Amino acid sequence: MLAALWSRTRTDSRGDEAVLREVAMISGVSLAAAERMLTTSGALEQGLEATRKNLLDGALPWSHVEVIAAGWWQVEPELRDRYEVEAIRVVTGAGVGQAKDRVRRLVDRMNPAAMAERHEKERAERDVILEPGANGMAWLHAYLPAAEAVAIRDRLTRAAVGLHGQEGEDRCIGQLRADVLIDLLLAPLPEADFWQVLDKSRRTVCALDIVPQVHVTVPVMTLLGKGNEPGNLRGYGPIDPVTARRLTAQAPSLYRILIDPGTDTVVQVGREHYEVPPALRRYLQIRDERCRFPGCDRTADLCDIDHTIPWFWDGETNANNLAHLCRVHHRLKERGWSVVTDDDGVMHWTSPFGRTRITLPAVALAA
């Protein structure tokens, strides 16, 4: 069957490959675009009735239908009706990037037994690819195991945050992250007196002292080897049980998070304190993962923790009244946007024109 949108693997079938190339030639599009066309049309023809109705009613854009169709092929036939209901729910109101992420998580939850096998197959495809861009720029894509990819980006981000705001530093976080990467990869090797010849004029040398952090949530039975539920890698999503146990074994310290009823993690402070205590802050980072405004992908580490009901309006410092918002979307609340947060962390946004969207907490998607 044709590959999903989030996979690099192409089919080995010569017949399917021939069809792909024929469609690409006739349509004047790339093989990847032809693959999406065939994947989506095939799924809509064989099933996905509710998705097709939502598309025709204007409730789902075509980009989201492509994402749902790609995941539809990845689940067992007997699970596809349940998958479609859940997929429509999780992509509604999400940007296309978030939609891909949520559907990928949903597929992994519905078929956890095959996760380790799929991971090993995809791991063999790891590579670094150059994609030319305009105006003398290019994209450098690294297709890596998720844990390593998350750790690399975390190290780059921490270095960038450490440099940002220093006297004379006017680069934004994204620019700093890119410059740290350039310096780390193009610096001379240690044999050539690494510390002396590194381009210190760009002031990214601190990246070498940064230890990346990888946060994994693992169900207790999976950790004990008696369960097959996937773990959850913050910033990525579900990971196979084998990888989850390996990362947990390597962790220098462990935290209990609000998954087990017996946890003692603080989730309620009320009106006694405005500042969010460390245990509650950790919980919110794992629950949210990203800015909770519809369509925003900024990681929680770079966001503010906002009181949904403001503190000066008697809002409390509790999990059901706190959420991560990036600085831009934090300020939107002062410009006519309103939001209500349910006890389960679901946020209901209303625009100044009365349009509504919901955003779901990451921990609910990974549960």
Task: Name the token pair of 286.
Answer: 């794992």
Instruction: Render pLDDT for 238-290 as a digit per residue (tens, 0 to 9).
Output: 777 777 777 777 666 555 544 434 443 444 445 555 577 777 788 888 788 88
Instruction: Render pLDDT for 160-171 as a digit per residue (tens, 0 to 9).
Output: 888 887 788 888
In whole angstroms, what is the distance from residue 3 CA to residue 22 CA? 17
Task: Name the token pair of 58.
Answer: 């204007």
| Beta bridge mates, 262 | none
When the pLDDT of each residue in the chain is averaged and rounded to a whole number, the result is 75
Mean pLDDT, residues 80-88 taken together = 90
Please name which of 345, 338, 340, 349 lies closest in space to residue 360, comparing C-alpha atoms: 345
Could you tell me the sign of the dihedral formed by the alpha carbons of 77, 78, 83, 85, in that order? positive
Please name which of 217, 234, 241, 249 lies closest in space to residue 119, comparing C-alpha atoms: 241
Q: What is the pLDDT, as a whole number, of residue 211?
A: 56
pLDDT over 70 at 203, yes or no: no
Q: What is the pLDDT, as a whole number, of residue 283?
A: 80
Phi-psi region of 237 (alpha: psi -120 to 50; beta: other; left: phi over 0): left
Q: What is the pLDDT, as a whole number, of residue 186?
A: 82
pLDDT over 80 at 200, yes or no: no
Mean pLDDT, residues 334-348 taken together = 82
Read off the pLDDT band of 8 (50, 70, 90).
very low
Q: What is the pLDDT, as a whole number, of residue 335?
A: 74
Read off the pLDDT band of 198 (50, 70, 90).
very low
For 3, 121, 168, 313, the CA distances from 114, given in Å and listed in that order, are 16, 11, 51, 49
Q: What is the pLDDT, as a whole number, of residue 123?
A: 84
pTM of the model: 0.56
Phi-psi region of 182 (alpha: psi -120 to 50; beta: other; left: phi over 0): alpha
Q: Output 151 or 219, whichever has higher pLDDT.
A: 151
